[in-house]
Amino acid sequence: MTALLGRDRRTGASVVLVLLVVLIGVNAVLNPARLAPAGIFTTIGLVAPLMLAALATTPSILSGGGGIDISIGPMIGFINVMMVLFLFEAGIDSPIVVIPLVLGLGALLGAFNGVLVAYVRLQPIVATLGTFLLFIGLTPWIMSQPGGDAPEWVLRLGDDFALVPVAFVGVLWFVIYRTPLYRYLMAVGGSSKAAYTSGINVARVRVFAYALGGLIAAVAAIALTALIGSGDPNIGQPITLKAIAAVALGGVSLAGGRGGFIGAGAGALVIFQLELALTSTQASTFMIQMIFGIVLVLAVLFNAIVGRRR
């Protein structure tokens, strides 16, 4: 547990975990049906895409140097459309073929961002703004209207097997955590100069971070396809800002090298629980957005103040 929290476990992540417990308590009163054991997998299926998008945004931020992949949202939308149009609609729907292809595509797209950042040496926000625009431009071009179908096994990943995509990424991260890669990633994020002088190949580690983010984005795309059961060219764009908010809520420092997957995942859960609680009180969408903005600001300020005092 503490392993997955990363070095920042006493500051950022603890705030978000407290917030999460409080919100689950509130929802247990307001929305017992959503949290009841009978519907728990449907609920997980609902939150999984955002949670995975937050996890996909995390490695690039951890890798430091102003690292951030803002193209994650549109990338998820792009993969969703590619998967539905070129695999499912073409009759290719065996999981043994689909999963490696989709994950490979995600890793490749992420690695492209990584190469732009680490080898072409563009500032991460600029490089991924470029690919952000490429993805939101190309997606409606290859599929102009929402449509298509997803095979049965994909749909079940949004329902009674909803835990599988999240668990897959959890296990993946745990494996990485047990290898030197994790230390390289945190070292590069903490101080790229120190990492460089101690012989770490900084550029390669950064490409790895972005490729990992892309791979997780592909898992998020599968979870999203499971949820909506089709391809939708407009669904990806709004995900980015929410995912960044989740990561920040979860105590991952945008300066790099501090934070972990548990915090980022919990941040996404907080956003989901907050929306759930507010929706059930019949609050308007504007009210929800307003409270969301205020909670985001207060939480990161609180993180900063607690972090400083430590």
Pairwise CA distance, residues 217 & 74, whole Å: 10
* Minimum CB–partner distance for residue 254 and another protein (Å): 4
Part in contact with another protein (CB under 8 A); list of ranges 24-32, 80-88, 103-111, 247-255: 247-255
* Minimum CB–partner distance for residue 57 and another protein (Å): 12
108 binds another protein (CB under 8 A): no
Helix (H/G/I), strand (E/B), else coil: 70: coil
Q: Between 131 and 225, name the residue whose CB sits nearer to another protein.
A: 131
Per CB under 8 A, which of residues 142..181 are in contact with another protein?
Answer: none
Binding pattern to another protein, positions 17-56, x when CB under 8 A? Answer: ----------------------------------------
Instruction: Name beta bridge partners: 78.
Output: none
Part in contact with another protein (CB under 8 A); list of ranges 8-16, 154-162, 260-268, 278-286: 278-286
Phi, psi for residue 146 in degrees, rounded to 5: -60, 140
5: Cβ contacts below 8 Å, ≥ 6 apart: 13, 260, 262, 263
Q: Between 195 and 223, name the residue whose CB sits nearer to another protein.
A: 195
143: Cβ contacts below 8 Å, ≥ 6 apart: 81, 84, 85, 231, 233
- Kindly list the residues in this chain that would bind another protein in the complex (CB under 8 A): 66, 68, 116, 120-123, 125-127, 129-141, 192-193, 196-197, 202-203, 241, 244-245, 248, 254-255, 284-290, 292-294, 296-297, 300-301, 303-305, 308
